[in-house]
Amino acid sequence: MENISIKAATLIGSEIIKLGNEINQKIKEGNAIYNLTIGDFNPQLFSIPETLQQYIIDAYIAKQTNYPPADGIPELKAAIIKFISKYEHLNFADDEVMVAGGGRPLIHAIYKTIVDPNDKVIYPVPSWNNNHYCHLSDAQKIEVPTLPENGFMPSAAELAPHLSEAVLLALCSPLNPTGTTFKKDQLMEICDLVLVENKRRIGLRKPLYVLYDQIYWMLLADGIEHYNPISLRPEMKPYTIFVDGISKSLAATGIRVGWGLGPAEVIGKMKSILGHIGAWAPKPEQVATAKFLANEHALNDFLTELKTKINIRFDALYEGIEKLRDKGFPVQIIKPEGAIYLSVQFALLGKKTADGFEIKTTAEITNFLLNRAQLAIVPFTAFGCENGTDWFRISIGTLKEEEIPELLNKLEGALAELSQAKVALV
């Protein structure tokens, strides 16, 4: 395609959005499908806080509709600083904070601020969208495969061989797509490696930075604790850039208020980049978010309610799929730890359906689950894993609680159809 740029011609669109759109089209055509593909919330099931909604309405009525400052209105930046200090015990100055229209522009700005063409970026796989941000930044990607027994979270040993080559290490906890989290010692060991590497780089032009995406950190399963690099190792502050916001913690994906925290020099350049793009959050939403973050009672009440709804779905799916495994079906599920995702393995490669069709690829597993169980979920190939993986992401943000028993029954019926299954449908 000579009439457009090479970058545009070689850019791959979001695999998840593509799959989700295809499923939504099937639903419009009358197909009954459990669409658990997109990492979003159905507002009819998971609405934003009523208090936040009223604050947004009030801000529009007050005509707070002109341009906001490129790095966020002062009231919101101050509220974020207080919020992070209270809940994470991290201290940031005004010039170390910026606001943007959700997490995506912030991640893109981090890449564009840190990464020069042909610089190397490390990230574990599966992970969300880092391959595309590398493409947009002309970076060389170093993808580090992870293991299900570690919850698909990277270990220091897995990352260590690559750190000397890179300028950016992209991490996320709780992780999209797996719904798993860093354990304290695990993250601490990674931080120690980064500190050693940056000590080696003293006098060189560029350190090794850590992009730490914690957009889901307030949505944790019972008994799970969130850890971040700076709390574990304060010396990490010059090298850590956080991505955070209300998109997930307040079920406010469409409100588009996110924030970045990091070294003033990096944040300042991110501000300049996004200022040229105009990727700031709408001013009324910024005004409302500032007020809501300061309303501790409303915030805590909402988080309790939201996490209860999420955990009900987590528990039901986890227990249901564990029962299928106990019956001998070729499935495995990792106990959920946070976010709105579960990691499930459907070990169906080599299995044959009742009509003799042999499942040979990840895509064929996906199609089998869709056509036989009406279950639409995202394979880990959409998150950087190689074709042939049999691990999938289930997103529960659009799942009705009362639909879960029927969903599990249909899944059991589909799995029982496979000619190699050793059990009968009960």
- Coil, helix or strand at residue 189: helix
Residues in the chain: 426
For residue range 137-150, what is the model confidence (pLDDT) as tens digits? Answer: 999 999 999 999 99
Dig out the tokens for 234 from the structure: 């304060």
Mean pLDDT of all residues belonging to the chain: 94
Strand-pair partners of 209? 168
Residue 419 pLDDT: 58
For residue range 204-216, what is the model confidence (pLDDT) as tens digits? Answer: 879 999 999 999 9
State the Cα–Cα distance between residues 16 and 394, nearest whole angstrom: 12
Dig out the tokens for 229 from the structure: 């690099």
Residue 349 parent element (H or E):
none
343 φ, ψ to 5°? -100, 125
pLDDT of 425 over the 60 cut: no
Average pLDDT in the 84-91 region? 97
**According to CATH, what is the number of the domain 6-46+300-416?**
3.90.1150.10
For residue range 96-123, what is the model confidence (pLDDT) as tens digits? Answer: 999 999 999 999 999 999 999 999 999 9
Residue 155 CB burial class (10 angstroms; 0-12, 13-18, ≥19): middle
49: Cβ–Cβ under 8 A, 6 or more apart, which residues? Answer: 250, 292, 298, 299, 302
pLDDT of 48 over the 50 cut: yes
User: Backbone dihedral region of 24: left (phi > 0), alpha (psi from -120 to 50 degrees) or beta?
Assistant: alpha
Confidence of residue 16 (pLDDT cuts 50, 70, 90): confident
pLDDT of 327 over the 90 cut: yes
Q: Where are the domains of the chain?
A: 6-46+300-416, 50-295
Confidence of residue 424 (pLDDT cuts 50, 70, 90): very low
State the Cα–Cα distance between residues 30 and 33, nearest whole angstrom: 9
Torsion over CA: 354, 358, 363, 366 (sign)? positive
- 40 close to 253: Cβ distance less than 8 angstroms: yes
Amino acid symbol at 285: E
CATH match for 50-295 among 3.20.20.70, 3.40.1000.10, 3.40.50.720, 3.40.640.10:
3.40.640.10
Whether pTM > 0.85 for this model: the answer is yes
- 211 close to 169: Cβ distance less than 8 angstroms: yes
* Lowest-confidence region among 3-12, 133-142, 277-286, 391-400: 3-12
